[in-house]
Amino acid sequence: MKALRKHKDWLMIVIAILAIPFIFYFVQRPDYGAMRSDRFARMYDRNVSMLEAQQMARLLSLAQALGMSEFVQTLTAGAGLNQNQVAVQFIVNLLVLRHEAGRLGLRPDASEIADVVRRLPAFQSESGFDMNKFSDFVRNGLGPMGLGEEHIEQLVRDELCLDEIKRLLATGISISKGEVDENFQRGYDKLSVSVIRFHSADFDKDIVVNDEDVQKYYDAHKTELKTEEKRKVQFVNLGLTEAQKKLTGKERIEGLQQLSDRATDFTQALLEKGADFKQAVEKFQLSVRETGEFTAAAPDPQLKVDAQLGVAAFKLSTQEPNSDPIQVADGFYILHLTGITEARPLTVEEAKPKIVDALKKSRARELMSTKGAEFVQQLREATKSGQLLEAAIQKADAKPEKLPPFSLMDEETTKSQGKETYQGKEPKNVSPSQGKESKNEPPDLAAIKEAVAFLNPGEISDFSPSGNNGFIGVLEKREPSADADAGEKKAAFEKRLLDNKQRVVFFEWLRDRQQAAGLQFSKG
């Protein structure tokens, strides 16, 4: 049993790594809200100033403009989609990378750096490296970022050091042929599955929540039952004109640079002793707008042009009421805090509707799970006694939902009548092994795959919760893949598996090196 459990655990890791986007949960997530305005962090027994951090954040923008996607993805892993968090993760990991490269004595020579620079996507044309593109980028692309040509070489040097560290860490990592063969076959078998669904809403009709239940819940969760904190801000928006918004290339960059300079001058004026937001607005002849009260979950409509504006508003304080310039698609915003309505505890009467709803949902899920487990047992006993599974399901008055055949490692877009049924554009950061949802695929397909992964034909899964609902999976048929490209797929499967094992090792190393750096964000 132990060996079987170990094998199942390993296969589920394989499936998780290859069938969903790789989630970098190894790297320390910083406390973004705890940074002081004058000091970014403390690492390697020294303070990292905000000025140094801002310079390194510009290197992130440069790396993205140069097309150094793998380098950026590696150093921003785990940061989510918030651009401020992406920048923080990049800065921290770049500092770690440079320290470790120095400790290991990694020094790429000038010829290596030049070779990589010539291969950067930003400098390519149909014939390869394009000197005109390079020159134009140096002249017009670096200036607005406050950078020079030497910063391109600096980033390339960092990338070469990163690649060498990855290579050193990957030494000795291997996968046996038996592991690849066994997991490939199970991953690509074609499965015919039916699911029997349970909906928690069907179980809450007879649930009664009395006043005693409400009071008990209130007493146990009193600290969590609060109103939402509300904010109110004034803001100025330095934006491109309608005509400028249509510009591209150098002309658009120049327009944004002028706005950036003006926004910087304005925020610098706000830092002067005794500075007043209203007076600064008048001095710079800017128009100011004001929001109504809003919460973090529901920002004021005027701030919905970019998600980071609402986030920035809740980082302001009475001590530091003015934001830095916040860049959006067509300009910059500067926020000024004008009011805070603190969260306060709800009374039991105010909290009652929320408590009743929470208790009903919780009890409905519990009842659904109990009924689901009983139904599984009922079906299994019926099949043991020789009854056909289909007849047992019909007798229980259940309505199975038959899914289109799939494999655990589906890669191709589901097609119907020769046309792709996937709707919309392919989302970013989705690995090829994820496949793409079709009209016929249920949203909980990943959970269904996990539930039936180790079943034999005719077997029934345990009850599986899925959000507020749940399901039971029935594996009707498992057929070996007859793919003509199986050889190529297996080679790609083995490479992905090896790559991901190497990435796991690298991110474990990075987490360890962050801890060794003594990374601390300053409270302020």
The C-alpha R_g of the chain, in whole angstroms, comes to 29
Q: Are 335 and 288 in contact (CB under 8 A)?
A: no
Q: Which of 70, 167, 160 is nearest to 117 (CA)?
A: 160
Q: Which residues contact 352 (CB under 8 A, 6 or more apart)?
A: 214
Higher pLDDT residue, 187 or 430?
A: 187
476 close to 452: Cβ distance less than 8 angstroms:
no
- 58's CB contacts (< 8 A; 6+ apart) are 145, 146, 147
Secondary structure percentages of the chain, helix, strand, coil, to 5: 50, 15, 35
Q: Residues 366-387: what's their mean pLDDT?
A: 93
Predicted pLDDT of residue 365: 93
Distance between CA atoms of residues 373 and 388, nearest Å: 19
Of 85, 208, 188, 165, nearest in space to 479 by CA: 188
pLDDT for the residue 11:
45
Residue 388 and residue 129: Cα distance in Å, rounded? 67
pLDDT at 483: 66
199-208, 382-391, 415-424, 480-489, range with the lowest pLDDT = 415-424
Could you give the dihedral angle defined by the CA atoms of residues 363, 365, 370 and 371, in that order, rounded to the nearest 10 degrees?
110
User: Comparing C-alpha atoms, which of 460, 321, 317, 478 is closest to residue 405?
Assistant: 478
Using CA atoms, how far apart are residues 416 and 150, in angstroms rounded to an integer?
Answer: 53
Contact yes or no for 362/209 (Cβ under 8 A): no
pLDDT, greater one: 180 or 235: 235
Token match 């132990």: residue? Answer: 2
Evaluate whether 449 touches 432 at the Cβ level (below 8 Å).
Answer: no
Residue 459: band (very low, low, confident or very high) from pLDDT cuts 50, 70, 90: very high
Q: What is the band of 78 on the pLDDT scale with cuts at 50, 70, 90?
A: confident
Rounded to two decimals, the pTM is 0.55
Angle between helices 486-516 and 83-104 (to 10 degrees): 80
pLDDT at res. 141: 84
Least Cα distance to 156 among 134, 136, 128 occurs for 134
pLDDT band (50, 70, 90) for residue 520: confident
Closest-CA residue to 26 (of 523, 500, 447): 500
Q: Cβ of 157: how many Cβ atoms within 10 Å?
A: 20
Whether 436 shows a pLDDT value over 60: the answer reads no
Rounded average pLDDT over 486-502: 83
66-75 confidence digits (pLDDT tens): 999 999 999 9
Range 103-122 average pLDDT: 94
The answer, yes or no, to whether residue 335 has pLDDT greater than 90, is yes
Percent of the chain with pLDDT over 90: 55
Which CATH number is correct for 22-173+498-516, 1.25.40, 1.10.3470, 1.10.357, 1.10.4030? 1.10.4030
Name the residue among 271, 270, 292 with its Cα closest to residue 281. Answer: 270
Contact predicate 380/373, CB 8 Å: no
d(CA 310, CA 232): 10
Read off φ and ψ for residue 205, nearest 5 degrees. Answer: -65, -40
Helix (H, G, I), strand (E, B) or coil at 436: coil
User: What is the reported pLDDT for 485?
Assistant: 61
- Mean pLDDT over the full length of the chain: 84
Residue 7, pLDDT score: 43
DSSP string for residues in 313-339: HTT--SSS-BPPPEEETTEEEEEEEEE
Would the pLDDT of 27 be above 50? no
Q: Label residue 144 by pLDDT band (50, 70, 90).
A: confident
101 or 247, which is more confident?
Answer: 101
Given a contact cutoff of 8 angstroms between Cβ atoms, the answer to whether 431 and 16 are in contact is: no
- Domain borders along the chain are 22-173+498-516, 183-213+348-486, 230-341
- Tell me, what's the pLDDT at 14? 45
Out of 256-260, 406-410, 413-417, least confident range = 413-417
Q: What is the mean pLDDT of residues 298-302?
A: 94
Determine the average pLDDT of the residues in 174-188.
Answer: 83
Task: Identify the top-confidence range among 10-14, 16-20, 191-195, 476-480.
Answer: 191-195
Q: Judging by beta carbons within 10 Å of its beta carbon (0-12, 13-18, 19+), is residue 402 exposed, middle or buried?
A: exposed
Q: What is the CATH number of domain 230-341?
A: 3.10.50
Cα–Cα distance for residue pair 2/387, rounded to 1 Å: 32
Which amino acid type is present at position 134? F
DSSP secondary structure string for all residues of 462-489: PPEEETTEEEEEEEEEEE----TTHHHH
411 pLDDT band (50/70/90 cuts)?
A: low
Categorize the per-residue pLDDT at 422 as very low, low, confident or very high, splitting at 50, 70 and 90: very low
Please say if the pLDDT value at position 8 is more than 80. Answer: no
Determine the pLDDT at residue 363.
94
Q: What CA–CA distance (Å, rounded) separates 429 from 408? A: 20
* CA 347/CA 352 separation, integer angstroms: 8
Is 168's pLDDT higher than 50?
yes
Range of lowest pLDDT (40-49, 282-291, 363-372, 406-415): 406-415
